[in-house]
A and B are shown apart, each in its own frame.
Chain A
Amino acid sequence: KNEVEQSPQNLTAQEGEFITINCSYSVGISALHWLQQHPGGGIVSLFMLSSGKKKHGRLIATINIQEKHSSLHITASHPRDSAVYICAVTQYQLIWGAGTKLIIKP
């Protein structure tokens, strides 16, 4: 069993829909990261959190340390949000999830 599990693996939605991507982990962590990888390949760090909730524009990330679970939400989704979203946790090094491929159709 992977130490970091993401769901769903693939998600296709219509423009404007509310998107939720989930991440569960099984190890003790010091922080959890959400990253975005666009079709061009570049990786961008979106959030790093160790408790509670963070918001940046239309993106919201939450974490529940007791349940070892985090969610990434996208409000009013747009085709430019299409990308692979990766959850990673920091233990002694980064442990990566396999990613969620999101496609937003116009």
Chain B
Amino acid sequence: DAGITQSPRHKVTETGTPVTLRCHQTENHRYMYWYRQDPGHGLRLIHYSYGVKDTDKGEVSDGYSVSRSKTEDFLLTLESATSSQTSVYFCAISEQSPSEYGYTFGSGTRLTVV
């Protein structure tokens, strides 16, 4: 779906290195979310944003930071990657929260920390 793109799609990095994942949207939606998906856990919210420079923590925010300097971009940073952060990361967008209009998801970023 061209409305939301994630980059990179795949990344392998070493323990202790910083990593930044990018989510870019062309829908001008106010809300953006970062989730991680792990076997047996479903999707868990890391951080979300409700506007430019407005962000808040989700249930699994430790070890992650985010930034949103423009409506269209929401960056997720792992300051010092650990093996427990090996996961598939999904970005999502919505017009409102709690959403009355549904969510659109990116294709995911598969991150492996070795």
Instruction: Give residues in A with beta carbon < 8 Å to B.
Output: 30-31, 33, 41-45, 48, 86, 88, 90-94, 96-99
Name the residue of chain A whose CB is nearest to the CB of B100. Answer: A31
The majority secondary structure among interface residues of chain A is strand
CB distance from B107 to the nearest CB of A (A): 5
Q: Which residue of A lies closest to B58 (CB)?
A: A93
Across-interface contacts of A93 in B (CB, < 8 A): 45, 48, 58, 97-98
* In the assembled complex, B43 has its CB within 8 A of some CB on chain A: yes
Q: Is residue B64 contacting chain A, with contact meaning CB distance below 8 A?
A: no
The answer to whether B98 and A92 touch across the interface, beta carbons within 8 angstroms, is yes
Q: Is the CB–CB distance between A41 and B43 below 8 Å? A: no
B99 at the interface (CB under 8 A from A): yes
B42 and A96: CB pair below 8 A? yes
Q: Cβ of A94 and Cβ of B100 under 8 Å apart?
A: no
- Closest residue to A29 on the B side, CB-wise? B98
Q: Which of B45, B99, B110 contacts A90 (CB 8 A)?
A: B99
- B40 lies within 8 A of A94 (CB): no
Residues of B within 8 A of A45 (CB): 102-105
Q: CB-defined interface of B101-114 with A at 8 Å, one 1/0 digit per residue?
A: 11111011010000
With A92-B98, A93-B97 given, is the CB distance from A42 to B42 under 8 Å?
no
Complex interface: chain A residues within 8 A of B102 (CB) = 33, 45, 48
In the complex, A44 Cα to B42 Cα: how many Å?
15
A31 to B101, CA, bound (A): 10
